[in-house]
Amino acid sequence: MLILYILLIIMFLIAFMLIKTRDKIYGYNQKKDYCYDFKNPKYFDLSSPIDLKEYTNNQTLILKLEIKSTFFSKLFAPYVNIYSQEKTEKTFFEHSAKGVRYIDISSFVGGYKIILSSKNCKIVSNKVEIFDFENLDIKNKKVLIISPHADDAEIASFGLYSDAKESLIVTVTAGETVSNDYVLADNNRDKSRLKGKLRVHDALTIGMLGNVSYENSIALGYFNETIKNMYKNQDNIISSKTSEISDINYFRMVNHSKIQTNPLASSKWDSLVSDFVHIINSTKIDFIVTLHPQIDSNTDHQYITLALLEAMEELACKDIKLLTSTNHLTQNEIYPYGDIFSTQALVPRFDTTFIFKDIYSHQLSKKKQIYKFYALESMHDLREPLIHIGFIRVFRAALKSLRRFINGKEKSYYRRSVRTNEIFYVTDYKELKKAYKDIK
């Protein structure tokens, strides 16, 4: 009996520690309302099935509801199940979440008898609001994807770029900063060069899994974690931090493509802006996909988008729409929340707003989700490397995954990125430029 009591005490202490840990992982108060100022809602009552037959043009539909978590949400993530006669989708929230949230129900457009149920939380009121946004008709558009590093295009927009009429992927940096995963090289310089070469190869080829031809993918060869420094020191050549290289042509791969780039490229800010000017001029695209500087914390992402905006300003672009997203949410590295193959909800938005005009949610079939998974798995920098070399590496990889699963800090891009949808914030480039008043 004493052993049983001891085991119960240990389990209680572990549960207490997990609850405390999960209260801190989000970087904000999970019990605050999300604040989006959407206009012209339509009102529905969850006491009976929702009829969405009036929405017939594949619009993006965002449902606003209020939730309150149960005690079990402190340990198990709360979520809402959305049912129709054809399918079920889950949307997850934060542990201990409470308040107004916005979920994507776009895949249920045109359906009827839509039912919501909840797990580890309660829907506070049956009165909900639905907002609809313009259908962007991606399948008939030409899209330019700005990928700061190899894998950013796939994480944010594999489904979108594989469904567009034509897509072009521009990977800006070589991503060569040293990591301990490239242990077969002899020293940090060689590790860095090997890593950069492998990631450039990934950037040029993996898009083919999403119907992007080799000729439509280029790598500009700028150096990892240097873009902000290029902006701050615009008269200087900024060298790689780890590869002992200052000439971006070492990693640059553009000659195989008809996409025009800066013929005198160097590791300087005006060169990057000029690259974007040449690219936009030569491609005649409808949409540009990039990372949003106010909701993505990576400085390369923020300043590459700034260079893009300066190029668009120079060209006085009028008819090109920006589709922005985040791969590294500013508050934490675990958004989107919940399981792989679930539905991505809108990012947390509170008193500090971020700039955008509309929402576009691109829907991924199960087949498309599977292809996205294997596109990510093909990236050298995302999969667990060299675990086949020895038992110790296998054990360490398993232990790391288990620890992250238990404490709720699972950062896996497979879990975060392979979803039923990809959400983009449609933004005007002139308005987005204003975001940099705070970032600088």
The 10s digit of each residue's pLDDT in 176-218 is 998 777 778 889 999 999 999 999 999 999 999 999 999 999 9
Is 6 contained in some domain? Answer: no
Domain co-membership, 63 together with 147: no
What is d(CA 367, CA 210) in angstroms, rounded to the nearest whole number?
Answer: 12
What is d(CA 72, CA 350) in angstroms, rounded to the nearest whole number?
Answer: 25
The whole-number pLDDT of residue 68 equals 97
Average pLDDT in the 395-407 region? 68
Domain co-membership, 192 together with 78: no
Assigned token pair, 213: 């031809």
Average pLDDT in the 66-88 region? 92
Average pLDDT in the 43-60 region? 91
Domain co-membership, 92 together with 218: no
What domain range is 56 assigned to?
A: 42-133
Average pLDDT in the 352-373 region? 95
The whole-number pLDDT of residue 388 equals 61
> By the 8 A CB rule, do 97 and 69 touch?
yes
Is 340 contained in some domain? Answer: no
The whole-number pLDDT of residue 297 equals 96
Is 437 contained in some domain? Answer: no
The neighbour count for residue 187, using CB atoms within 10 Å, is: 8
Domain-ending residue, one of 133, 157, 190: 133
The 10s digit of each residue's pLDDT in 213-236 is 999 999 999 999 999 999 999 999
Nearest CA to 72 out of 37, 96, 38 is that of 96
Domain-ending residue, one of 78, 106, 133: 133
Residue 284: pLDDT band (50, 70, 90) is: very high
Share of the chain above pLDDT 70, in %: 90
Residue 410: pLDDT band (50, 70, 90) is: confident
Share of the chain above pLDDT 90, in %: 79
Domain co-membership, 85 together with 223: no
Question: Does residue 336 have a cis bond before it (omega within 30 degrees)?
Answer: yes
> For residue 16, which amino acid is it?
F
Domain co-membership, 225 together with 121: no
Is 358 contained in some domain? Answer: no
The 10s digit of each residue's pLDDT in 295-330 is 999 999 999 999 999 999 999 998 899 999 999 999
The whole-number pLDDT of residue 367 equals 97
What is d(CA 199, CA 379) in angstroms, rounded to the nearest whole number?
Answer: 7
Contacts for 246 with CB less than 8 Å, ≥ 6 apart: 237, 239, 240, 267
Domain co-membership, 127 together with 155: no
Domain co-membership, 81 together with 152: no
Give the highest mean pLDDT range of 333-347, 398-412, 426-440: 333-347
Greatest C-alpha distance within the chain: 78
Average pLDDT in the 246-259 region? 97
CATH classification of the domain holding 392: 3.40.50
The whole-number pLDDT of residue 12 equals 61
CATH classification of the domain holding 50: 2.60.120
Average pLDDT in the 98-120 region? 95
CA 386 to chain centre: 26
How far is CA 7 from each of CA 4, 11, 14, 149, rounded to the nearest angstrom? 5, 6, 11, 47
Rounded to two decimals, what is the model's pTM?
A: 0.93
The whole-number pLDDT of residue 212 equals 98
The whole-number pLDDT of residue 253 equals 98
Residue 25 has pLDDT above 80, yes or no: yes
The whole-number pLDDT of residue 79 equals 98
The 10s digit of each residue's pLDDT in 114-130 is 999 999 999 999 999 99
Instruction: Give bridge partners of residue 362 from the DSSP assignment.
Output: 422
Residue 352 has pLDDT above 90, yes or no: no
Domain co-membership, 247 together with 113: no
Residue 438: pLDDT band (50, 70, 90) is: confident
Domain co-membership, 265 together with 209: yes
Is 281 contained in some domain? Answer: yes
Instruction: Give bridge partners of residue 64 from the DSSP assignment.
Output: 102, 129
Domain co-membership, 126 together with 250: no
Domain co-membership, 116 together with 193: no
Residue in the structure block whose two tokens are 């959305």: 82
Is 257 contained in some domain? Answer: yes
Q: How many domains is the chain partitioned into structurally? A: 2
Residue 237 has pLDDT above 70, yes or no: yes
Is 11 contained in some domain? Answer: no
Residue 105 has pLDDT above 90, yes or no: yes
Domain-ending residue, one of 109, 133, 157: 133
